[in-house]
């Protein structure tokens, strides 16, 4: 298959409080897709950001007694630095209140829809949830409250601009039912089709300046109105590309949106309607291409309840992704999200579950495998082992790992380049199951990720670990080593083949697990790479997590400093090498102790 151009995006969360683990799920899933596609040679752009223009942010600032600008700058930094905390390969990070590309892009989108006759003023009265930034029909409420937040709704009456959503019902139904706009899982596609079949009503696309507290992007040529935050926020997917700007300033838009093979949104179920109905209709009105796919994940819960920034206490320590990463390392956090969260259905999180999964899989399973193989290689071959033939393309991952947009990947030593199959010995006959597991993994991972089934993909990779450990137990290489030392030449020859198969399995594992756990992949590659003809001395790649305390360190999030403007977002393109913030890493498995790491900065007006 020829290389594809793939544009991936996450939703942009409100910044009324710190991030929680629910945001982390979507970010990690998107990062796995981005790394997977880079690894197979596709051209990839991964975008994330923050929604700064919500009324929720204004109200949160009022409760704290600070300005809205101060609150969004402080909280947006907590989202921006997740790139480092979670080892994310994000290419662009947009902030809707300060990025110089966003406001003019939203205004151009508004004017395009107005020119098509799809915006008109109308007096309106309805039931509004500030938490959702959405009007609800009375029949959609749960005991008179918001069905998502469980909070009372407000009766709002004012004159606003409306968008002619009803005009696009038939087109949307046809696009979705035929798969031209693919929505996964199928249950969510059916949900959207049912919503459309029930009749689409035009929606309010603006709010009065008074109700918005003067915060947001003004409606072009109407100083009394502010553009509805969802219209504003949805536009980020193309405003970051300078959509609608005159050529050549729209080069990114032409490259990554108009001419992309895939335009993929990853979203939570609570915002499905906006991404699968409102957003495509806006694009149809503006005469722009639609996303090709929308993947919808369900919620993470804690103690059976939805994790929410809107809780009275904000984001609790036990679901703060930065604190979890600082305490247990990004590998443990990413692995739980990928290994335990199903494709469909809510999943309950506890720290105990994270620790159990990390210890069972990464410490006892994978870490023990690497330790045993390298230790055996040093005990009986002084670290000098000839690997078996690897599947074609094993070294392809190094091209993605060397991507300069991902500092961690670039730091992985280039020790796994294929030396040529003719130079390597064949696999031993008794390693057939291990070899088969290795050979079927790439296709199994690709098939699972094509379905957005991250748990199945992670499980497919882990089959290598399980088969390799079974092979160690079945062959008992320590007995072969002792027999060789007692004079059994045949045992020594078999030991060479066994160790070759195991070292190869560990090297391929580093390649296959890289999209899922890039930090751990780097440590596996370093542990099993050929350095001067010998494996390095054994070093644990993932020690067991032993807790002396259940308290989590509290990371500090400095307000974001102003950065230079430009076509490429400075939050990731320019700021990362120079900005600094405190960081505690000494207790995270597999992470070196450090006092400082880089952080993101973004433009501010």
How far, in Å, CA of 28 to CA of 87, rounded?
9
Q: Domain holding 428: CATH number?
A: 1.10.730.10
Query: 19 with 117, same domain?
Result: yes
How far, in Å, CA of 604 to CA of 571, rounded?
11
The answer to whether position 136 is within a domain reads: yes
The answer to whether position 333 is within a domain reads: no
> pLDDT class for 237, splitting at 50, 70, 90?
very high
The answer to whether position 575 is within a domain reads: no
The answer to whether position 597 is within a domain reads: no
pLDDT for 402 equals 36
How far, in Å, CA of 167 to CA of 284, rounded?
10
List, as own/partner pairs, every contact residues 33-37 make where C-beta atoms lie below 8 angstroms and the sequence separation is at least 24, other chains included.
33/6, 33/8, 33/264, 33/266, 33/449, 34/6, 34/8, 34/89, 34/91, 35/89, 35/400, 35/514, 35/515, 35/516, 35/518, 36/445, 36/446, 36/449, 36/515, 37/4, 37/6, 37/8
How far, in Å, CA of 85 to CA of 356, rounded?
21
Closest CA to 538 of 368, 363, 360, 329: 368
Work out the number of other CB atoms within 10 angstroms of the CB of residue 169: 18
Answer yes or no: is pLDDT of 449 > 80: yes
The answer to whether position 129 is within a domain reads: yes
Mean pLDDT of the chain: 85
Query: 360 with 277, same domain?
Result: no
Q: Which of 50-64, 233-247, 568-582 has the lowest mean pLDDT?
A: 568-582
pLDDT for 147 equals 76
Split into its structural domains, the chain has a count of 2
Q: How many residues does the chain have?
A: 605
Domain boundary among 277, 301, 320: 320
Query: 246 with 364, same domain?
Result: no
The answer to whether position 143 is within a domain reads: yes
How far, in Å, CA of 167 to CA of 118, rounded?
8
How far, in Å, CA of 31 to CA of 412, rounded?
18
Q: Which of 226-230, 403-407, 498-502 has the lowest mean pLDDT?
A: 403-407
Answer yes or no: is pLDDT of 406 > 70: no
Query: 308 with 453, same domain?
Result: no
DSSP states of 183-235:
EESHHHHHHHHHHHHT-PPPEE-EEETTTTTT-SPEETTEEEEEE-HHHHHHT
Provide the Cα torsion 227, 230, 236, 237; round to 10°. -140
Answer yes or no: is pLDDT of 462 > 90: yes
> pLDDT class for 307, splitting at 50, 70, 90?
confident
Closest CA to 54 of 95, 108, 10: 95
Query: 163 with 287, same domain?
Result: yes
How far, in Å, CA of 335 to CA of 168, rounded?
41
How would you class 187 by CB atoms within 10 Å of its CB: exposed for 0-12, middle for 13-18, buried for 19 or more? exposed
Query: 137 with 21, same domain?
Result: yes
pLDDT for 144 equals 79
Query: 49 with 99, same domain?
Result: yes
Domain boundary among 276, 305, 320: 320
Work out the number of other CB atoms within 10 angstroms of the CB of residue 384: 13
The answer to whether position 437 is within a domain reads: yes
Query: 117 with 76, same domain?
Result: yes
List, as own/partner pairs, every contact residues 411-414 make where C-beta atoms lie below 8 angstroms and the sequence separation is at least 24, other chains included.
411/522, 412/514, 412/521, 412/522, 412/525, 412/526, 413/525, 413/526, 413/529
How far, in Å, CA of 16 to CA of 75, rounded?
7
Q: What is the domain range of residue 445? A: 350-528
Q: Is the omega angle on the peptide bond into residue 487 within 30 degrees of 0, that is, cis?
A: no
Q: What is the pTM of this model?
A: 0.86
pLDDT for 588 equals 42
Query: 263 with 367, same domain?
Result: no
Query: 471 with 521, same domain?
Result: yes
Higher pLDDT, 2 or 255: 255
pLDDT for 158 equals 85
Work out the number of other CB atoms within 10 angstroms of the CB of residue 531: 12
Query: 371 with 487, same domain?
Result: yes
Q: Which of 77-91, 152-166, 323-337 has the lowest mean pLDDT?
A: 152-166
Query: 314 with 357, same domain?
Result: no
Helices (H), 91-185: 102-115, 169-177
Closest CA to 31 of 499, 583, 406: 406
For 167, 397, 398, 401, 409, the CA distances from 518, given in Å and listed in that order, are: 46, 11, 12, 9, 7
Kind and range of the H or E element at 263?
strand 262-268
Q: Domain holding 181: CATH number?
A: 3.40.50.620
> Are 286 and 167 a contacting pair, CB within 8 Å?
no
The answer to whether position 425 is within a domain reads: yes
pLDDT tens-digit readout, 514-552: 999 999 999 998 899 876 779 999 999 999 998 754 454
DSSP states of 565-599:
--SS-HHHHTSTTT-EEE---TTSTT----SEEE-
Domain boundary among 475, 502, 528: 528
């Amino acid at each position: 298959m020829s290389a594809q151009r793939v544009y991936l995006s996450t939703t942009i969360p409100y910044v009324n409080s710190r991030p929680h683990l629910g945001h982390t799920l979507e970010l990690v899933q998107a990062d796995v897709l981005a790394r997977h596609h880079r690894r197979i040679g596709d051209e990839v752009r991964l975008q994330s950001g923050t929604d700064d223009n919500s009324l929720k942010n204004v109200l949160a600032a009022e409760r704290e007694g600070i300005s809205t600008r101060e609150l969004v700058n402080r909280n947006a930094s907590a989202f921006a630095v997740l790139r480092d905390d979670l080892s994310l390969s994000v290419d662009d990070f947009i902030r809707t209140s300060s990025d110089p590309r966003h406001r003019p892009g939203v205004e151009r989108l508004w004017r395009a829809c107005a020119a098509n006759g799809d915006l008109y003023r109308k007096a309106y009265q309805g039931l509004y949830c500030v938490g959702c930034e959405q009007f609800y029909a009375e029949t959609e409420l749960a005991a008179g409250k918001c069905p998502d937040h469980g909070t009372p709704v407000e009766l709002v009456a004012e004159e606003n601009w409306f968008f002619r959503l009803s005009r696009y019902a038939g087109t949307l139904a046809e696009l979705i039912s035929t798969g031209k706009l693919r929505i996964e899982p199928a249950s969510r596609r059916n949900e959207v089709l049912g919503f459309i079949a029930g009749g689409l009503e035009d929606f309010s696309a603006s709010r009065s300046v008074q109700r918005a507290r003067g915060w947001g992007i003004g409606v072009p040529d109407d100083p009394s109105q502010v553009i509805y935050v969802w219209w504003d926020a949805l536009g980020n997917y193309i405003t970051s590309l300078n959509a609608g700007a005159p050529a050549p300033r729209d080069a990114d838009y032409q490259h990554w949106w108009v001419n992309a093979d895939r335009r993929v949104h990853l979203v939570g179920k609570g915002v499905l309607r906006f991404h699968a109905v409102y957003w495509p209709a806006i694009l149809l009105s503006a005469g722009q291409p639609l996303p090709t796919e929308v993947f919808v994940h369900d919620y993470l819960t804690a103690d059976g309840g939805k994790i929410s920034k809107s809780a009275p206490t904000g984001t609790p320590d036990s679901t703060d992704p930065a604190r979890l990463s600082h305490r247990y390392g990004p590998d443990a956090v990413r692995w739980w999200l990928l290994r335990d969260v199903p494709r469909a259905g809510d999943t309950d999180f506890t720290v105990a579950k994270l620790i159990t999964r990390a210890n069972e899989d990464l410490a006892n399973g994978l870490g023990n495998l690497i330790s045993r193989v390298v230790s055996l290689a040093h005990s009986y071959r002084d670290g000098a082992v000839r690997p078996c033939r690897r599947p074609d393309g094993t070294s392809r991952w190094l091209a993605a790992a060397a991507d300069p947009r991902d500092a961690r990947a670039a730091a992985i030593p280039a020790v796994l380049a294929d030396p040529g199959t003719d130079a390597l010995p064949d696999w031993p006959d008794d390693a057939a199951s291990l070899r088969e597991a290795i050979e079927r993994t790439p296709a199994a991972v690709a098939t699972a990720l094509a379905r957005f089934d991250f748990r199945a993909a992670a499980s497919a990779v882990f089959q290598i670990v399980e088969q390799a450990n079974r092979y160690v137990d079945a062959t008992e290489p320590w007995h072969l080593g002792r027999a060789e030392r007692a004079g059994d030449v045949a045992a020594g020859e078999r030991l060479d083949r066994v160790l070759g198969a195991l070292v190869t399995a560990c090297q391929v594992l580093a390649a296959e697990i890289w999209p899922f756990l890039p930090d751990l992949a780097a440590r596996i590659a370093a542990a099993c790479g050929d350095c001067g003809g010998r494996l390095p001395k054994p070093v644990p790649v993932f020690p067991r997590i032993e807790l002396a305390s259940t308290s989590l360190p509290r990371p500090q999030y400095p307000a974001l400093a102003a950065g230079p403007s430009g076509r490429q977002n400075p939050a990731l393109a320019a700021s990362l090498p120079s900005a600094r913030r405190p960081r505690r890493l000494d207790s995270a498995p597999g992470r070196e102790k450090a006092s400082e790491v880089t952080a993101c900065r973004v433009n501010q007006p």
